[in-house]
Amino acid sequence: MIEKTALITGASNGMGKAISLSLAGEGYNLIICARNEKNLLNFQKEILEIYPQISVIAIPADLSKKVETLALAERVLEEWGGIEVLINNVGQYETGTLVGGEDELMEQMMNINFYSAYYLSKLLGKGMAERRKGHIINIVSIAGKEPVLGAGSYSISKFALQGLCKNLRLELKPFNVCVTAILPGSTLTGSWEGQKVDPNTLISPQDIALMVLSSLRLSPGANLEEIEIRPIHP
């Protein structure tokens, strides 16, 4: 099941949902992961109703917890032998100062936004290197390049994720494995729930899905290393 199989984390809403549907439309078999089991299973059903010709496996997991992240990777390796595409999309945005904030906030942001991608990339990327084929796509953030005042822990976790992309790319390039970092600005996701925003001033999740597809459609000798996408209106 390795060929044309993608694992997408944070798959049941927002960017993850848009990416999953786009990959399904391209004929990829999917392993979708999210924390909310009910939403995930409903989404699995939705995909299969639209694309009954593909395989969709739903695995609920809280990737802020190392043990569940490792269990996800181990299950993928044991049951399917690996994957062709890994989309590290799961993430969380929280505000808070560095000096006056709680240590737990930094730990939470690092666990969700960085360590989940680190462990999955490490464990599943090894198989890609052995097969000399694969693609890891990390959904980073503009906050991974430009510090965000009032959301320091979030920004630092995204800086770490961007660093992971750069180092993985160097390590995996000799094995024909691509690593792409997508850095969106403000995107219309659940993070804006309860706030009055004009959807026309934000990036659409479908825009991110298009960037994922663009990176996967390149010739075998090309790697789209970094994509920065910002709203046209500040």
**Which positions are annotated as active-site residues?**
154
Report CA Rg, the chain: 17
Q: How many other C-beta atoms can be found within 10 angstroms of the C-beta atom of residue 37?
A: 13
Instruction: Tell which residue, 68, 20, 69, has the closest CA to residue 40.
Output: 20
Residue pair 212/19 in contact (Cβ under 8 Å)? The answer is yes
Cα–chain-centroid distance for residue 55? 20
Residue pair 83/5 in contact (Cβ under 8 Å)? The answer is yes
Q: Checking DSSP bridges between strand 29-34 and strand 177-184, what pairing results, if any?
A: unpaired
And the tokens for 160?
């770490």
DSSP string, 114-155: IIHHHHHHHHHHHHHHHHT-EEEEEE--GGGTS--TTBHHHH
